[in-house]
Amino acid sequence: MLAVLLIAAGLVLLRDALVGYRAVPGPAWIPLGLGAVDGLAPGTGFLVGGIIAVLVGVWLLYAALRRRVRSRAVLRARTGVYLAPGDIARLASAAAEDVGGVVTASSKAGTRSVRTTVRTTGGPGIDQAVLDAVHQRLDVLDPAPRVTVVVRGPTGRSRS
């Protein structure tokens, strides 16, 4: 809304400049507007308008300075690149699927934690291998999220 108001003010200024150079016929709008409000006596409307303007200004300051919810994770690189939770989950699943013995992998992620569930053919230490692979892949995030791995295989279910 502020952008629209600034564009409108710019157009009025441009028109008045063109009128001043006699490129556009007619009276300038800014002096007409100032003449219309000149001589107005203070009244209740000005008080109400001032109070509303102050409240809107305080609200805008609060909105600008309040703590924001992190909806994206920042990469360690100084490029200003962010990842959404869905992208983090895809990275974790791809890292888990690269581990030998993993049949399928699925992940759920937030900006601070990742839970990866894998189906395996079995094998000792696969949970730690998946955990290491996901940690290595997500090490580019700042801060690195907490990773939980759930392994489902022929021997049952384990968690790390």
**113 in Cβ contact with 87 (< 8 Å):** no
**79 in Cβ contact with 85 (< 8 Å):** no
Q: Which letter does DSSP use for residue 122 in this model?
A: -
Compute CA 25 distance to the chain's CA centroid, rounded to the nearest angstrom: 48
Per-residue pLDDT tens for 17-63?
999 999 999 999 999 988 888 888 888 988 999 999 999 999 999 99
pLDDT at 92 over 60: yes
Mean pLDDT of the chain: 88
For domain 73-159, say whether CATH 3.30.379 is its number.
no
Provide the pLDDT for residue 2.
Answer: 85
pLDDT band for position 96 (cuts 50, 70, 90)? very high
pLDDT at 156 over 60: no
Give dist(CA 62, CA 66) in Å, integer: 6
Copy the structure tokens of residue 119.
């189906």
pLDDT at 132 over 90: yes
Per-residue pLDDT tens for 22-35?
999 999 999 998 88
Range 110-120 average pLDDT: 91
pTM for the whole structure: 0.58
